[in-house]
Chain A
Amino acid sequence: MNREQGRAEALFMPRSFTTTESNLTGSWRYMRPRFEEKTAPCSTACPAGEDIPRIEMLTTQGAFREAWETILMENPFPAVCGRVCFHPCEGSCNRRGFDSAVAIHTMERFLADSALRNGFRSDLGKLQSWKERIAVVGAGPAGLAAASFLARLGYVVHVFESLPEPGGILRWGIPAYRLPPSALQHEIARLAGLGVEIRTDCRIDPSGLEALERDYDAVFLGCGFGKDRPLGIPGEREEGVEDGLAFLSRIRGGASPRLEGVSVVVGGGNSAVDVARTVVRLGGRAVIAYRRRRQDMPAFDEELQMALEEGIELQELLAPAGIERRDGKLAVTFRRMKISGEDADGRGRIVPDGEAKLEIEADRLFTAAGAGVAEDWHRPPQEETGLIKLSHSILVAPEGRPVRAYGGDATNDVQMVVTAVASGKQAALALDVLFREGPAAIRERLAACAVGPGPSLSMEIYTGGPRKLRTRHVVLPEEINTDYFAFEPRITQPRLLVEERSRSFSEIDLKISAGLAIREAGRCFNCGICNGCDNCYLFCPDVSIARGHEGEDRRINYDYCKGCGLCVVECPRNAMTLEGKS
């Protein structure tokens, strides 16, 4: 330090050795930023209300167990929904307007598989214990979901299932190439861990129902749509005509008939496509005859596309008119239809195309043109004392009498697995409010745990978890600061080759690697939630964002925050809000 011509005194220059903390720059503030987490559009679109932005954030961090448990909080069946859900979440993903939606569906499947492979155990257990006992009729997705949530809420739950194994449509209706039995088994096994008792081969009839009502404080009915609706045409009872759901159930029960020749499948939903693809796997040819057009089909287009690749023929605008047994085969007559105007739901209205007809010679015919309840008492009453009609479920809770709750296909507008889960969850929460606070509180308490504007409900919000701090505001695409995101191609779901899959019932969708999953999860904007990116901390000119050594517990030091709003603008995901100072 021997400065040759060093100076005697320190430079007199603008330099302060005292703390600047005496200058409370926060007193200059007229706008006030705060951390305020909001609601992601995907999570409101999810009927189960899954906390998708958090799931993807945890996945990005490699915290697969926590991510999986975050799903389980709201949906007990990630391995099922990761395979068969129609993923409306992706349809409202804010990333769609940027490049393409995050593959949320694929990520759910990945997390469920990771949980299975790594033997993850969920910490989500019983929150408390209540004395009330609840019977669940039907071990389908609605009944099992209701049982799962009721058990976590502290109730004694017994499930009654008429078939030898639980699962309902999941076990007996969806083919193994879409939902392998092992995936379902592990989901159901978790219920036992919650203390849910499932009694199989236990058929309930109306008198059995009355008995349950005597023995239990409430009965949940989730009996599903167990039977295909009849076509209402001549010859429907001919030999070789079979109910599509019954056929799928037979195959899932272990039957493996050779189905040579042509099978006609009447219908346009997922069951129709599943029946046709099952036929192909059993060595037959399948023709799907649908009275509307391809774009009007309720079946998932991706499934239909794969079906077409597997050699299934689609015939549009054909309404079945009659079936005759002729020379050991079926002669199926269709009326040709045409489009004339629009229906209320926006689909083309179909009318007969004059007298035009088509006859198809087939070896067998499967009906899959919409299903309904198998028995009348599975259907909820429309009017009854104490009836509370909710968006996905119906409660009948007359004063002083046993409580009955309905869920699943019979109460849902859309008959999908995840909507069945939503109905089971809604009924479970409603029953809890009913028992704890009485029927008058149900609507208000359920509204309080809605995800965004609802109707999806959150168990985490209901039970007072941190998610309840988020506002209902659904993050808009323009509220994302896309400067912080780069275009990234969406992951492509790897699949069996068409030659491999059309010969077996092996699962078509293949697993993805953890590396790919982390990359795909990294595409998520994490709309409305803080993922600890630290932009606020880095941009704050007043060093007013305080946080712990690990980056946790961010808060704003309002003694010094000038309210410039930089943090809010630079937050890529709208997890902060700037408000006018009151």
Chain B
Amino acid sequence: MKRVLEGSHAVAEAVRLARIQVISAYPITPQTHIVEILSDYCASGKMNARFLRVESEHSCLAALIGAQSTGVRTFTATSSQGLALMHELLHWASGARLPIVMAEVNRALAPGWNIWTDQSDSLAQRDTGWMQFYCEDAQEVLDTMLMAYRLAEMVNLPAMVVLDAFFLSHTYEPVDVPEQEEVDRFLPAYVPEFRLDTAHPFALSPLVAPNAYMEMRREIAAAMDEALERLDSVEEKFAGIFGRRYGAVEAVCCDDADIVLVTSGTVTSTARILLEELRAKGEKIGILKIKLFRPFPVEAIRRALAGAKKIAVVDRNFSFGATGIFAQELRAALCNVPDHPPVFGFIAGLGGRDITTEVLASIVEQTKTADAPPAESIWIGLTEAAYAFGRP
């Protein structure tokens, strides 16, 4: 049934439909709407789930690790500082091979205190062993949540479904909310690979000596590879029931493109408008939307960019002392491909600044006019006024 929903509520509807049994969360803007409605669902009986109140995000994820270890499906949502506080437990969850799914609303990190969208929070957790899906709109959020559970439980790895603050979390859009029985068909009751059971006791996450630690890490790496392989079949099944699929990446008009804009999150939608405008003028522009960031879909990216002349990566994040993070990943994916196209790295929209079609047009223009990319990132739209902010 089509409903007009906030991105946050699209997450909540997916959680309800996935029959989550334990939810724990600590409120933080802009994540609050997600858990607000879920706590309501738990209180009213609309969901048969326990909502654990906690005193911090650290405790929140610790509680879920405990809950998921008993063999139930769990959920949490957080943002920014909250995710940073979870950092230690993110490793515990993946190391313990628990398929916890989290909604992560991209928000800038402080200081300066900033509640608006920025990818630095989730990308800072790149190496924690969590899968990461970056969503473009509310429908994709709902669908990806369901697929994330399916995939996570297959490979026993946790997953983050990432959505932009406000541009997605607080924006109302028409969303097709599936029926429960359809979802049940796609996502049957959770059958845990293992669960704590007092009748058959075991110790979870004990000391592991050097003789086995490395092999366990390799298993996590293999599970990530497996997730990449299995995503297609999950999407296949999802499409069979609901008629929608997204792909680890989506290539739009890349085959003949002179310049391919590489995007993630809601910026992709803006890029689609620009693409129509420029294509109408005869400019050969393409878009490569990267949805799946971990595991990083290297092969799909190489295939999609095989015909591109130049690549312009839009990063709503920055790795201090290096460059934008998507640009780094792109360069790493392409560097061993002979004669690969040059990668231009652009930084835009940090701290929630709007990335308009004009901003993207400027990126295309700069890419077009430059012969070769500079080593450093190109920051778009910096103003004197911004520098003057707060100066005495």
Give me the interface of A with B, judged by CB distance under 8 Å: 1, 3, 5, 7, 10-17, 20, 23
Residue of A nearest to B226 (CB): A7
Task: Check A10/B194 contact, CB under 8 A, given A5-B154, A5-B230.
Answer: yes
Decide if A14 touches B193 in the complex (CB within 8 Å).
Answer: no
Decide if A1 touches B191 in the complex (CB within 8 Å).
Answer: yes
Q: Which residues from B are CB-within-8-Å of A13?
A: 95-97, 156, 216, 219
> What would 6 A/B residue contacts be, using CB atoms closer than 8 Å?
A3-B191, A11-B156, A15-B194, A15-B202, A15-B206, A20-B206
* B204 on interface, CB distance cutoff 8 Å: yes
Task: Check A16/B203 contact, CB under 8 A, given A11-B97, A11-B219.
Answer: yes
| Bound Cα distance from A236 to B361, whole angstroms | 118
Decide if B95 touches A14 in the complex (CB within 8 Å).
Answer: yes
Residue of A nearest to B97 (CB): A13
Q: Which of B95, B202, B215 contacts A16 (CB 8 A)?
A: B202
Output the least CB separation between B313 and chain A (Å): 34
- Which 6 A-B residue pairs are closest in the complex by CB-CB distance? A16-B203, A17-B202, A13-B97, A12-B219, A16-B206, A14-B205
| Bound Cα distance from A3 to B190, whole angstroms | 10
Give the interface SS of chain B, mostly helix, strand, loop or mixed.
loop
* B375 on interface, CB distance cutoff 8 Å: no
| Bound Cα distance from A3 to B191, whole angstroms | 7
Q: Which residues from B are CB-within-8-Å of A7?
A: 193
Decide if B208 touches A14 in the complex (CB within 8 Å).
Answer: yes
Decide if B203 touches A15 in the complex (CB within 8 Å).
Answer: yes
The contact string, 1 if C-beta is below 8 Å from chain A, for chain B 86-113, is: 0000000001110000000000000000
Q: Which residues from A are CB-within-8-Å of B156?
A: 11, 13
Output the least CB separation between A16 and chain B (Å): 4
Output the least CB separation between B193 and chain A (Å): 6
Output the least CB separation between A306 and chain B (Å): 50
Beta-carbon contacts under 8 Å, B148-200 to A: 154, 156, 191, 193-194
| Bound Cα distance from A311 to B95, whole angstroms | 80
Residue of B nearest to A17 (CB): B202
Give me the interface of B with A, judged by CB distance under 8 Å: 95-97, 154, 156, 191, 193-194, 202-208, 215-216, 219, 230
Residue of A nearest to B153 (CB): A3
Residue of A nearest to B223 (CB): A11
Decide if B215 touches A12 in the complex (CB within 8 Å).
Answer: yes
| Bound Cα distance from A10 to B202, whole angstroms | 14
| Bound Cα distance from A34 to B206, whole angstroms | 27
| Bound Cα distance from A10 to B194, whole angstroms | 9
Tally of A-B residue pairs with Cβ under 8 A? 42
Q: Which residues from A are CB-within-8-Å of B202?
A: 15-17
Output the least CB separation between B59 and chain A (Å): 16
Q: Which residues from B are CB-within-8-Å of A17?
A: 202-203
Name, among A13, A16, A23, the residue most crowded by chain B CB atoms within 10 Å (CB to CB): A13
Decide if A11 touches B95 in the complex (CB within 8 Å).
Answer: no
| Bound Cα distance from A17 to B216, whole angstroms | 16
| Bound Cα distance from A215 to B346, whole angstroms | 114
Q: Which residues from A are CB-within-8-Å of B205?
A: 14-15
Residue of A nearest to B233 (CB): A5
Q: Which of A5, A12, A16 contacts B216 (CB 8 A)?
A: A12
Output the least CB separation between B47 and chain A (Å): 25
Residue of A nearest to B230 (CB): A5
| Bound Cα distance from A164 to B202, whole angstroms | 77
| Bound Cα distance from A3 to B207, whole angstroms | 30
Q: Which residues from A are CB-within-8-Å of B96?
A: 13-14
Decide if B203 touches A20 in the complex (CB within 8 Å).
Answer: yes
| Bound Cα distance from A15 to B201, whole angstroms | 10
Decide if B191 touches A14 in the complex (CB within 8 Å).
Answer: no
Output the least CB separation between B213 and chain A (Å): 8
| Bound Cα distance from A41 to B191, whole angstroms | 58
| Bound Cα distance from A12 to B216, whole angstroms | 6
Output the least CB separation between B68 and chain A (Å): 13
Beyond contacts A12-B219, A14-B208, A17-B203: 15 other A-B pairs, Cβ-Cβ < 8 A, are: A1-B191, A5-B230, A7-B193, A11-B97, A11-B156, A13-B97, A13-B156, A14-B96, A14-B205, A15-B202, A16-B202, A17-B202, A20-B203, A20-B206, A23-B207
Decide if A14 touches B206 in the complex (CB within 8 Å).
Answer: yes
| Bound Cα distance from A10 to B219, whole angstroms | 11
| Bound Cα distance from A1 to B205, whole angstroms | 25
Name, among A11, A17, A20, the residue most crowded by chain B CB atoms within 10 Å (CB to CB): A11
Q: Which residues from B are CB-within-8-Å of A12?
A: 215-216, 219
Output the least CB separation between B187 and chain A (Å): 11
Residue of A nearest to B213 (CB): A14
Q: Which residues from A are CB-within-8-Å of B204?
A: 14-15
| Bound Cα distance from A5 to B236, whole angstroms | 15
Residue of B nearest to A12 (CB): B219
Output the least CB separation between B232 and chain A (Å): 13
Q: Which residues from A are CB-within-8-Å of B216?
A: 12-14
Q: Which residues from A are CB-within-8-Å of B194?
A: 10-11, 15
| Bound Cα distance from A14 to B216, whole angstroms | 8
Residue of A nearest to B156 (CB): A11
Output the least CB separation between B88 and chain A (Å): 16
Output the least CB separation between B65 and chain A (Å): 13
| Bound Cα distance from A17 to B96, whole angstroms | 15
Output the least CB separation between B20 and chain A (Å): 19
Output the least CB separation between A323 and chain B (Å): 76
| Bound Cα distance from A581 to B205, whole angstroms | 30
Decide if B191 touches A11 in the complex (CB within 8 Å).
Answer: no
Output the least CB separation between A468 and chain B (Å): 41
Residue of B nearest to A2 (CB): B191
Q: Which residues from A are CB-within-8-Å of B97?
A: 11, 13
Q: Which residues from A are CB-within-8-Å of B191?
A: 1, 3
| Bound Cα distance from A14 to B207, whole angstroms | 8
Q: Which residues from B are CB-within-8-Å of A3?
A: 191
| Bound Cα distance from A26 to B317, whole angstroms | 48
Output the least CB separation between B221 and chain A (Å): 12
| Bound Cα distance from A17 to B194, whole angstroms | 12
Residue of B nearest to A20 (CB): B203
Residue of A nearest to B202 (CB): A17
| Bound Cα distance from A436 to B104, whole angstroms | 81
Output the least CB separation between B215 and chain A (Å): 6
Output the least CB separation between A208 and chain B (Å): 76
Output the least CB separation between B93 and chain A (Å): 12
| Bound Cα distance from A12 to B191, whole angstroms | 18
Residue of B nearest to A4 (CB): B188
Name, among A10, A16, A23, the residue most crowded by chain B CB atoms within 10 Å (CB to CB): A16
Q: Which residues from B are CB-within-8-Å of A1?
A: 191
Output the least CB separation between A553 and chain B (Å): 23
Q: Which residues from B are CB-within-8-Å of A16?
A: 202-203, 206
Q: Which residues from B are CB-within-8-Å of A14?
A: 95-96, 204-206, 208, 216
| Bound Cα distance from A186 to B103, whole angstroms | 73
| Bound Cα distance from A218 to B139, whole angstroms | 99
Output the least CB separation between B70 and chain A (Å): 14
Residue of A nearest to B204 (CB): A15
| Bound Cα distance from A3 to B219, whole angstroms | 20
| Bound Cα distance from A296 to B193, whole angstroms | 79
| Bound Cα distance from A3 to B194, whole angstroms | 13
Output the least CB separation between A165 and chain B (Å): 66
| Bound Cα distance from A16 to B207, whole angstroms | 9
| Bound Cα distance from A209 to B208, whole angstroms | 85
| Bound Cα distance from A3 to B154, whole angstroms | 9
| Bound Cα distance from A16 to B196, whole angstroms | 12
Q: Which residues from B are CB-within-8-Å of A15?
A: 194, 202-206
| Bound Cα distance from A23 to B205, whole angstroms | 15
Output the least CB separation between A90 and chain B (Å): 38
| Bound Cα distance from A20 to B203, whole angstroms | 8
